[in-house]
Amino acid sequence: MTTPYKIGVIGAGNIGTAMAALLSQSDAKVWLTARGARLEQITQDGVQLNDRGKVIAARPKTCAQLSEPMDALFVCVKSQSLASAIKLNKAAITPDTLVIPMVNGLPFWFYADDTGFGAASLLDPDGGLAELLTPQQVLGAVLLMTVQTDASGQAQSSNTPTLSLGTVCAGVDLSHVEALIALLEQGDVRTDLHPNIRQKVLVKLLANFATNPLSALTGAMLDEIGKTPALCDIATALADEFRDWVTAEGYELPPNPWLTDLLIDAGAFPTSMLQDALAGKPLELDAICRAPMVFAQAKGKDMPVLQALLDLIQTADSIPLSLAQVPAALKTLRPVATTA
């Protein structure tokens, strides 16, 4: 009898709930971790994903932390919580466990090679990730899926879940990765093994970098940023700063018309950083904003628009700003964006 493939999903927020529901449609055995009231809720009611009108109800195994080895581990927490989540669930990780961090921003493995993870002081400040993981077991991931969780705990998605996975160094057992991809496909997650996952990460990060902090400050939805000239000017100036750094790193990114079209097509959707701001949660500024800025400065590339935006976020009494405060903030940012 074949031993079932075991998948752990750490974190029962938007993405974790969606992934647990989707993966539960496959032949894998799925565990989902959560804390407090959310753990009680999913233990009692299971998880639900409304995938464009199709409701997927599932009952993965639930726990506060994983206590047995997993074949694969999807870590669906905010970037600043990644190291603590991995440490809490280290019993699930063996040298053969595939670990897939499903986080926004510049990932801690971006500069990894066969020998280690490279310099990532903002992304792994205590070295905990490098201590517990090897580059050979980490898969880079880029998920394209808009998900929000309603008051009942049901996740709502409006587009096809599309996931790109990629090895971050040489020496990975690809048969293990292919087995995981097959299970993801069973769960209706359109998945590919991308030959250059860093390029894929940077394309997604371009959109996050240009919109997340701006939306958190102003309360603007994605389509509003794309359609409003004052907001779009700042977003494209941020994208230019990001693209200037990425070009120095040897990568190419799509031009600003692609970004504007992407934002308009996204509709009235709040970025993850705006959702956190509205919920009073910490923002993922290190991974999405500050880490790229540090590495850009190391290449001699300044980011004055981003710095001005971060200054406003830092000094604001609360974010998002009230509607009455937004015009003054834009008046501060637009001249910087124009001259950058």
Please say if the pLDDT value at position 207 is more than 90: yes
Q: How confident is the model at residue 152 (pLDDT cuts 50, 70, 90)?
A: confident
Residues 308 and 172 both lie in one domain: no
Please say if the pLDDT value at position 6 is more than 70: yes
pLDDT at 191: 97
Provide, rounded to the nearest whole percent, the portion of the chain with pLDDT above 90: 81
The count of domains in the chain is: 2
Residues 33 and 146 both lie in one domain: yes
Higher pLDDT, 52 or 133: 133
Closest Cα to residue 101, out of 315, 287, 307? 287
Residues 179 and 257 both lie in one domain: no
Residues 321 and 206 both lie in one domain: yes
Please say if the pLDDT value at position 120 is more than 70: no
Residues 111 and 45 both lie in one domain: yes
Is 1 within a domain?
no
> Average pLDDT for residues 303-311, to the nearest whole number?
97
> Average pLDDT for residues 98-104, to the nearest whole number?
95
Mean pLDDT of the chain: 93
Q: Which residue range forms the structural domain that includes residue 206?
A: 199-339
Q: How confident is the model at residue 121 (pLDDT cuts 50, 70, 90)?
A: low
Q: How confident is the model at residue 132 (pLDDT cuts 50, 70, 90)?
A: very high
Please say if the pLDDT value at position 58 is more than 90: yes
Residues 15 and 42 both lie in one domain: yes
Domain boundary among 152, 171, 195: 195
Please say if the pLDDT value at position 322 is more than 70: yes
Q: What is the 3-state secondary structure (H, E, C) of the chain?
A: CCCCCEEEEECCCHHHHHHHHHHCCCCCEEEEECCHHHHHHHHHHCEEEEECCEEEEECCEEECCCCCCCCEEEECCCHHHHHHHHHHCHHHCCCCCEEEECCCCCCCCCCCECCECCCCCCCCCCCHHHHHCCHHHEEEEEEECCEEECCCCCEEECCCCEEEEEECCCCCCHHHHHHHHHHHHHCCCEEEECCCHHHHHHHHHHHHHHHHHHHHHHCCCHHHHHHCHHHHHHHHHHHHHHHHHHHHCCCCCCCHHHHHHHHHHHCCCCCHHHHHHHHCCCCCHHHHHHHHHHHHHHCCCCCHHHHHHHHHHHHCCCCCCCCCCHHHHHHHHHHHHHHC
Task: Please tell me the distance from the alpha carbon of residue 5 to that of residue 139, in angstroms, as a whole number.
Answer: 17
Q: Max Cα separation, the chain?
A: 67
Q: How confident is the model at residue 231 (pLDDT cuts 50, 70, 90)?
A: very high
Domain boundary among 151, 169, 195: 195
CATH number at residue 319: 1.10.1040.10
Highest mean pLDDT among 40-54, 195-209, 325-339 belongs to 195-209
> Average pLDDT for residues 7-18, to the nearest whole number?
95
* CB distance 287 to 312 below 8 Å: no
pLDDT at 1: 42
pLDDT tens digit sequence for 279-296:
999 999 999 999 999 999
Residues 188 and 203 both lie in one domain: no
pLDDT tens digit sequence for 239-279:
999 999 999 999 999 999 999 999 999 999 999 999 999 99
* CB distance 149 to 13 below 8 Å: yes
Closest Cα to residue 78, out of 276, 215, 307, 313? 276
Domain boundary among 168, 195, 222: 195
Q: Give buried/exposed letters for 294-307 (b at 16+ CB in 10 A, else e).
A: bbbeeeebebebbe
